[in-house]
């Protein structure tokens, strides 16, 4: 029973690592020198490190993480993080209810059956592990005991439906509360307009947009901001920023060189070519000073040119009330709906400027091409994944690479390798993907970062289903016995049902494999997450050797946001595995509960004290997650159908209703709940606003940084709005009509 | 070559029937006595019969049908009919372009090949017809000639895409023009609100709706009309109407009995039970007079009760401008999007009152159940259809029913039967379906007649694909050679590819079958449609024996509307068959062109002179048709892929791009064009209105007839709207605040 011992080893080692890392966190987080790593969010907010940070006991953080209220979480970490953590709570509830039936009822039934022993007696080549006796595989075929597992399938499904409805409503409430907040946000007054048709000859784009919107929204339309192509400007601007930073750095170096021994200091010098190693030596301060001045002029010239000549067929339009913007964002504006497409504006920080003006046809073709690419990648990733899975059993590995025999035959190494090798390979392999997927999603022409994240997450999810879940299960079972593979190749009646049979007969061993996968993922993953060892080391190295200026130091400990596009698909992979095996091997539920419980605590801690969101999408990740929870349930139900068929259970057809209902349920949710996440409802938009940003600030927020000149941009409305009664309240709409500086006014007057 | 002669017989007979019917139309339509049947639409409009109707030559109607302008057609027959006829024009264009390549290039290539002869030489059991030599089946396997057919597939597909885009844009233009018409229609000022939550305790439904909408649309909201449950009232009301009609009829009978011989007349009498055959004899006029009075009182009491007690959670809300209504219909109103769902109001005449207040969950569950039912029905209709197809060959029929031998062996009967028997059986069979499908669609909770029609048409379409197209093709080929059937049953490797092989190898003979189907459908169908023999006979019989009053006579010749829910799927069946065989047997294109050309002329004539639409849906049938044209193309492309595979053409994989592109194209169209049909764009809604119905009339239009009392209903606004500047123009918003009659005011004041 080597696999069982490998399983135990794996669990114990993982747990050991986790304890070590948690302990390290307990120690390291107390040191003041590390506070920038363990409390960056609090420091940036100005809340300071929690009062008792230095003397509290090592478990206080758990209490703090769990006890903090939902409101506080939303305030501190943003709605997106709150919704992500609610997703954990939701899954905990689903698995909690599921375990209530599956663990006390199904495990004893399985444990008191003897199918594995019978099969072993019939065919000693069939191996089984002690662990397998707790799974459905141990139940004899065609016995009434299987009814309990059928009930279990219904139990799990119904728990999921009920909990999902409850949580969707909760999410809508959370989002509504944020949106209706009395202090309004710039994006609530703006809409993004894409696919503006070519303007008539005598009109500028700005006039065209103003004319169109003034006719349709005569009382509420304020002004617009035409999107420009800033690619060229951006290049110069980036150089300019780098130059300024170099200058600053050189000055700091110069200051630092003024020691007591040498009060006049050493002026820093550098060479011009090949990263300062080759070429003429120059005085850095003088050189960068010159460069900064040159580039500032170049930026200004290019800025003027961009504003005049690089206008694109997209714009942000601004309204004088939340309600007007919310209503406009939901309406078809032009007779041909593909022109003048109006969308809710993304938050200013998350706008993907280069994608805004991509035409609808280009977007369509691009996403067609991207999805084809993803499809092909998913398909051809199957091959390496299949190879990895074939190495899953060490025996196979040794057979292929005989020189490994010496190492592998050493007992402890063998056990550890057996436990971890395939999982580690898989995890490393999957780590390469997200960047590629983000890049592909960007090509689609998506206008906002949060949407990009969702698109990449969705693509990653396909990979996970096809490659990890199906791939490992299917290929793992096939390759684990080469005989099985040959059998499949030789069989003339290769068909869906034969695959299902094979698939099902090997399911329980694969369940054990997945349990170790889950365990590794959560113990080691969350340990690393909590202890932040890697950022800690990187920060101290940078601090010691590289950072000179205050700004550079700040960048070195900047915590960054949650990386949802990798986090979410991984969580859903765990969810999917657990859903699929919840009834077949109910033990997995306990591990899944542990995974999501530890995740909930650790990530809540990180959300409150570490990560700082780059932008806020208003919780739009939830419908995305919700759909994938249902997909996991669907796959679980299909798996159960197949498995009941294998157990020759005549009433397996009763399970058929479940996947059908899941599809139906999903469409109900999409129709009824999704619109609440897609747009802002009029009832919410009509809530009173107490504190709104002035229009000038809104327009500025929607201007790319490189288009703003150094002096403050001043908003000047083209017309007097005295007559327009804005619902924002007069205080906030006070616009400074004085102090208009010529350098920026063309931005609004073109 | 009996099948070829059967084919020719079929064509000639059909053509003969068509000529006979067209000739009958030429004669009969000249007689003044028949004008009510041939020109009812013109008569109802008050245009009178066309000036030259009585002396013109028999082909003038063709000229008139074709030459009438699009504007005139829209004016006379409505947008729905115009769009339906444009569908014919669109298909004519697609098949016209397709034929340009397929007929002159592919037919000669097929005709100069010899595959059929070679196959026949190899295996004399294989039969083929002279006709088959013009189809792709005659091209030898693996020859470069097949490239031409590949090009043909691309040619047909690209023609379809190009023509479809052109026509979608045209349809949007047509619809936009109608919607922006300066004389506005009641539905342009109304929205339908469903899923209104339970009102707070102290509020009536009316107050609740008013409060909600006044908050969100303070400047534009006018009033609302709460939907009530009129089921009970409707029963009494129907009795009341029947009673009034009986009274009228009795009076006419009495008047007519006053001949010169007997100037005092005979008072009509009738018995009370069993349709007037049994029971006490009473004086009809007195009896019905009494009954009318009683029922009028009952109606009034029930009306009051309904208005007070039967209010439902749905309402029509009315706005003071088209723009406001259009914008409101597109916005999510409540924080929970499943409450307060706002839709564009259907035209008053097409409202399905009983469905309005069905809750969103009930609608979902209902449509789930209905689609399941339809799915099962589609599945189990396969069995009779398969049987019918097995009779397709007379030989099989005789084998099963030997007593038919005597009749069948008589040569002329044999030929005719061979040609028509299966087609007639199929047509009769399909005629039973539409009523069932309309009934099922009504159960779904659809709020408008036009949507019902589309839903029923969509379901009928599934039947057609699965049963007629796949069913006949698949089962027809299997049963046509019982050997093939046995072969399929015995083969152990029953798989998708073996079915495709069988399917493909029998395709060309089935093509001939379908050509006769098309021919029968169009020659006989359009002949009957044009000559209107059945309505003519029914009308004259009714006129002679049943109709007494003017009203009854009018009902006897009332032409009714186009029955789109049967017409559209049938046209699409023809389209689908032709698409599937356009490249395999290009001859079918000529027949398809003839079908749609004759259809275009005949139906244009009927639209202009005969049918009167019950309601207008604003051309919303087009997206429905468009999606199904693409489905037909998709199925055609899949068929081609299979057939190329059968011809062992190594580049068959090149066809794979086409169905993928079709799916992509379809999603492009859905995203870009569909919104223009789903809602009214703000640009169109903002067009000036010169002539709008007064609000009172709009509200009245949205009140079920049985809720209106005999006196005119008078609109009373709850508030004064003097300050609200309506875009309708002051003339039309003049509401009579005088003359409010107590009997009806509670309708608006509840």
pLDDT single digits (tens) B710-725: 554 334 333 333 333 3
pLDDT in tens, A67-105: 888 888 888 888 999 999 999 999 999 999 999 999 898
Q: Are A681 and B334 in contact (CB under 8 A)?
A: yes
Residue numbers in A near B330 (CB within 8 A): 330-332
Task: Give the one of B216, B323, B493 whose C-beta lies nearest to A686's C-beta.
Answer: B216
CB–CB of A496/A503 below 8 Å? Answer: no
- Distance between first and last Cα of chain B: 78
Test B337 with A686 for CB contact under 8 angstroms.
Answer: no
Is the model more confident about B476 or about B259?
B259
Whether A362 has its CB under 8 Å from any CB of chain B: the answer is no
Highest mean pLDDT among A503-507, B396-400, B402-406, B683-687: B683-687
For A391-506, where are the alpha helices, taking DSSP H only?
A: 394-400, 405-409, 411-431, 433-443, 449-463, 473-480, 482-490, 496-505
pLDDT of residue B212: 93
Contacts with B173 from chain A: Cβ below 8 Å: 335
Name which of A327, A667, A676 is nearest B327 (Cβ-Cβ): A327
| Contact: B684, A335; criterion CB under 8 Å | yes
Optimal mutation site among A161, A175, A329, A331, interface B, most CBs of chain B within 10 A: A331
Partner B contacted by A656 (CB < 8 A) = no
B681: nearest CB among A335, A674, A682? A335
Average pLDDT on B288-312 reads 87
Cβ of residue A176 closer than 8 Å to a chain B Cβ = yes
Chain B contact probe: residue of A336, A445, A676 with most B CBs at under 10 A: A336
Q: What band does A266 get if pLDDT is binned at 50, 70 and 90?
A: confident
Task: Mark yes or no for CB contact B176/A681 under 8 Å.
Answer: no
- Looking at the complex, report in whole angstroms how far the Cα of residue B167 sits from the nearest Cα belonging to chain A: 13
Per-residue pLDDT for A645 more than 60? yes
Q: Which residue has the higher pLDDT, B693 or B8?
A: B693
pLDDT at residue B610 tops 50: yes
CA terminus-to-terminus distance, chain A: 78
pLDDT in tens, B164-188: 999 999 999 999 988 888 888 889 9
Q: What is the reported pLDDT for B468?
A: 66
Q: Flag the least confident range among B112-121, B513-522, B646-655.
A: B513-522
Name the region of A526 (left: φ>0; alpha: ψ -120 to 50; beta: rest): alpha
Chain B residue numbers with beta carbons less than 8 Å from the beta carbon of A686 are 215-216
Q: Quickly count: other Cβ atoms within 10 Å of residue B22's Cβ.
A: 20
- Is B172's CB within 8 Å of A335's CB? yes
Picking from B195, B197, B323, B332 by the largest number of A CB atoms within 10 A of its own CB, the best residue to mutate is B332
3-state secondary structure of A314: strand
The answer, yes or no, to whether residue B646 has pLDDT greater than 80, is: no
| Contact across the interface for B331 and A332, Cβ inside 8 Å | no
Chain A, residues 547-566, CB within 8 A of chain B, namely: none
- State chain A's mean pLDDT as an integer: 79
Neighbours of B620 (CB within 10 A): 20
Q: What percent of chain B has pLDDT over 70?
A: 77
Flag if A676 and B172 touch (Cβ within 8 Å): no
A326–B contact, CB cutoff 8 A: yes
Enclosing H/E stretch for A595? helix A587-609
Q: Is A265 left (phi over 0), alpha (psi -120 to 50) or beta?
A: left
Q: What's the 3-state SS for B412-427?
A: HHHHHHHHHHHHHHHH
Interchain contact, A675 vs B337, CB within 8 Å: yes
By C-alpha distance, which of A417, A473, A586, A592 is closest to A6?
Answer: A417
User: What residues pair up with B343 in beta bridges, in sequence order?
Assistant: B192
Report the pLDDT value the prediction gives residue B714, as an integer from 0 to 100. Answer: 38
Residues 136 through 175 of chain B touching chain A, CB cutoff 8 Å: 169, 172-173
Query: Can you state the percent helix, strand and coil of chain A, rounding each to 5?
Result: 70, 5, 25
Minimum mean pLDDT among A405-414, A563-572, B206-215: which range? A405-414
Nearest Cβ partner for A681 among B333, B368, B676: B333
**From the CA of A368, how many Å to the nearest CA of chain B?**
7
Residue to mutate among B165, B221, B335, with most A CBs inside 10 A, is B335
Which of B330, B492, B683 shows the shortest C-beta gap to A493? Answer: B492
Q: For an interface test with B, which of A660, A672, A684, A687 has the most B Cβ atoms less than 10 Å from its Cβ? A: A672
Name the range with the highest mean pLDDT among A404-418, B88-102, B557-571. B88-102
Closest approach of B681 to chain A, Cα-based (Å): 5
pLDDT at B303 over 70: yes
**What is the distance between the alpha carbons of residues A418 and A2, in angstroms, rounded to a whole number?**
9
Chain B residue numbers with beta carbons less than 8 Å from the beta carbon of A671 are 338, 360, 364
Q: Name the pLDDT band for A12 (thresholds 50, 70, 90).
A: confident
Bigger pLDDT: B20 vs B45: B20
Q: Which residues contact B592 (CB under 8 A, 6 or more apart)?
A: B91, B95, B518, B574, B575, B577, B578, B582
Q: How many angstroms separate the CA of residue A447 from the nearest CA in chain B?
A: 17
Structure tokens at A524: 């080691």
Q: Does the pLDDT at position A46 exceed 60?
A: yes
Q: Give pLDDT tens digits for B104-132.
A: 998 888 888 887 777 777 766 656 666 67
Cα B404 from Cα B413, distance rounded (Å): 11
Q: Do A330 and B331 touch (CB under 8 A)?
A: yes
Q: What is the pLDDT of residues B131-152, one digit of tens each?
A: 677 777 778 877 888 889 999 9
A337/B676 touch (CB, cutoff 8 Å), yes or no? yes
Of A338, A495, A676, the CB nearest to B495: A495
Q: Does the CB of A681 have a partner CB in chain B at under 8 Å?
A: yes
- CB atoms B673 and A338 under 8 Å: yes
Q: Indicate whether A146 pLDDT > 90.
A: no
CA B127/CA B201 separation, integer angstroms: 80
Cα–Cα distances (Å) from B274 to B208, B278, B546, in that order, read 49, 6, 19
The alpha carbon of residue A683 and the mean position of all alpha carbons in its chain are separated, in whole angstroms, by: 30
B270 vs B429, more confident:
B270
- B732 confidence band (pLDDT: 50, 70, 90): very low
Say whether A216 and B686 touch across the interface (CB within 8 A): yes
Which among A176, A336, A673 has the least Cβ separation from residue B338?
A: A673
Q: Which residues of chain B have a CB within 8 Å of the CB of A367?
A: none
Residue A495 pLDDT exceeds 60: no
Closest Cα in chain A, distance from residue B438 (Å): 22
Mean pLDDT of the region B263-278: 73
Please state, in angstroms and as integers, the Cα–Cα distance from residue B371 to each residue in A653, A664, B383, following that order.
19, 11, 19
All residues of chain B having their beta carbon less than 8 Å from the beta carbon of residue A172 are 335-336
Q: Give the minimum alpha-carbon distance from B678 to chain A in angstroms, rounded to a whole number.
A: 10
Put simply, the answer to whether B682 touches A361 (Cβ < 8 Å) is: no
Contact between A43 and A36 (Cβ < 8 Å)? yes
Contacts of B25 (CB under 8 A, 6+ apart): B38, B61, B530, B531, B532
User: Is residue B362 within 8 angstroms of chain A, CB to CB?
Assistant: no
Q: With contacts defined as CB-CB under 8 Å, which chain A residues touch B668?
A: 361, 364
Domains of chain A: 2-181+361-672 (no CATH), 186-230+310-346+684-749 (3.30.70.330), 232-305 (no CATH)
Closest CA to B583 of B682, B503, B508, B516: B508
Interface test with B, best of A332, A372, A676 (most B CBs within 10 A): A332
Q: Which pLDDT belongs to residue B1?
A: 40
Taking CA–CA distances from A664, the nearest residue in chain B reads B368
CA distance B734 to chain A (A): 24
């Amino acid at each position: 029973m080597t696999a069982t011992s490998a399983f135990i080893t794996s669990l114990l080692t993982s747990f050991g690592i986790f304890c070590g890392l948690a302990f390290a966190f307990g120690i390291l987080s107390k040191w003041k020198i590390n506070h920038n790593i363990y409390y960056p969010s609090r420091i940036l907010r100005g809340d300071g490190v929690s009062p008792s940070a230095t003397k509290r006991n090592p478990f206080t953080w758990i209490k703090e993480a769990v006890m903090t209220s939902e409101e506080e979480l939303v305030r501190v970490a943003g709605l997106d993080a709150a919704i992500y953590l609610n997703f954990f709570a939701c899954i905990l509830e689903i698995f909690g209810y599921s375990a209530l039936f599956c663990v006390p009822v199904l495990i004893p039934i399985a444990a008191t059956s003897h199918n594995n022993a019978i099969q072993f007696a019939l065919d000693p080549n069939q191996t089984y592990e002690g662990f397998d006796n707790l799974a459905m595989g141990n139940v004899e075929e065609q016995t009434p005991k299987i009814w309990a597992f059928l009930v279990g399938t219904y139990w799990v499904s119904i728990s999921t439906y009920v909990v999902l409805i409850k949580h969707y409503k909760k999410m809508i409430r959370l989002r509504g509360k944020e949106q209706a907040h009395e202090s309004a946000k710039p994006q609530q007054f703006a809409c993004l307009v894409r696919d503006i048709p070519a303007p008539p000859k005598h009109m500028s784009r700005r006039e065209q947009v103003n004319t169109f919107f003034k006719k349709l929204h005569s009382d509420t339309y304020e002004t617009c901001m035409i999107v420009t192509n800033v690619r060229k400007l951006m290049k110069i601007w980036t150089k300019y920023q780098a130059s300024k930073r170099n200058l600053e750095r050189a000055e700091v170096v110069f200051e630092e060189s003024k020691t007591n021994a040498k009060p006049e200091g050493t002026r820093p010098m550098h060479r011009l070519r090949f990263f300062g190693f080759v070429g003429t030596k120059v005085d850095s301060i003088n050189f960068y000073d010159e460069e900064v001045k040159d580039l500032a002029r170049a930026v200004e010239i290019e800025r003027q040119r961009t504003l005049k000549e690089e206008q694109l067929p997209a714009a942000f339009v601004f309204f004088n009330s939340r309600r007007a913007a919310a209503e406009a964002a939901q309406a078809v504006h032009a007779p041909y709906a593909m022109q003048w497409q109006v969308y809710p504006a993304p938050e200013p920080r998350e706008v993907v400027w280069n994608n805004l003006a991509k035409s609808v046809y280009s977007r369509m073709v691009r996403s067609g091409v991207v999805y084809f690419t993803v499809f092909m990648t998913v398909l051809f990733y199957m091959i390496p994944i299949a190879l990895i899975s074939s190495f899953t059993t060490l025996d196979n590995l040794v057979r292929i690479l005989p020189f490994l025999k010496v190492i592998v035959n050493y007992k402890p190494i063998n056990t550890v390798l057996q436990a971890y090798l395939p999982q580690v390979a898989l995890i490393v392999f999957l780590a390469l993907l997200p960047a590629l997927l983000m890049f592909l999603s960007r090509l689609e022409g998506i206008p906002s970062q949060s949407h990009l994240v969702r698109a990449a997450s969705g693509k990653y999810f396909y990979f996970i289903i096809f490659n990890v879940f199906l791939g490992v299960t299917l290929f793992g079972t096939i390759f684990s016995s080469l005989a099985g593979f040959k059998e499949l190749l030789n069989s003339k009646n290769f068909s869906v049902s034969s695959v299902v049979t094979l698939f099902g007969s090997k399911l329980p061993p694969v369940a054990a494999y997945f349990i170790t996968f889950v365990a590794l993922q959560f113990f080691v993953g969350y340990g690393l997450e909590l202890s932040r060892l890697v950022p800690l080391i990187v920060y101290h190295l940078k601090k010691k050797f590289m950072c000179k200026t205050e700004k550079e130091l700040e960048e070195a400990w900047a915590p960054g946001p949650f990386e949802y596009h990798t986090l979410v698909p991984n969580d859903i992979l765990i969810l999917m595995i657990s859903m699929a095996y919840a009834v077949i091997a109910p033990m997995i539920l306990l591990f899944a509960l542990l995974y999501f419980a530890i995740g909930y605590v650790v990530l809540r801690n990180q959300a409150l004290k570490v990560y700082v969101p780059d932008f806020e999408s208003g919780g739009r990740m939830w419908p995305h997650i919700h759909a994938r929870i249902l997909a996991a349930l669907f796959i679980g139900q299909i798996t159960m159908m197949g498995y009941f068929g294998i157990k020759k259970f005549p009433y397996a057809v009763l399970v058929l209703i479940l996947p059908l209902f899941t599809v139906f349920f999903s469409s109900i949710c999409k129709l009824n709940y999704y619109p609440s996440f897609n747009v802002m409802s009029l009832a919410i938009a009509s809530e009173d606003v107490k504190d709104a940003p002035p229009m000038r600030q809104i327009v500025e927020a929607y201007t790319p940084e490189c288009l703003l000149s150094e002096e403050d941009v001043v908003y000047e409305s083209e017309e007097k709005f005295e007559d327009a009664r804005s619902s924002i309240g007069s205080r906030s709409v006070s616009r400074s009509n004085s102090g208009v500086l010529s350098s920026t006014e063309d931005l609004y007057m073109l």
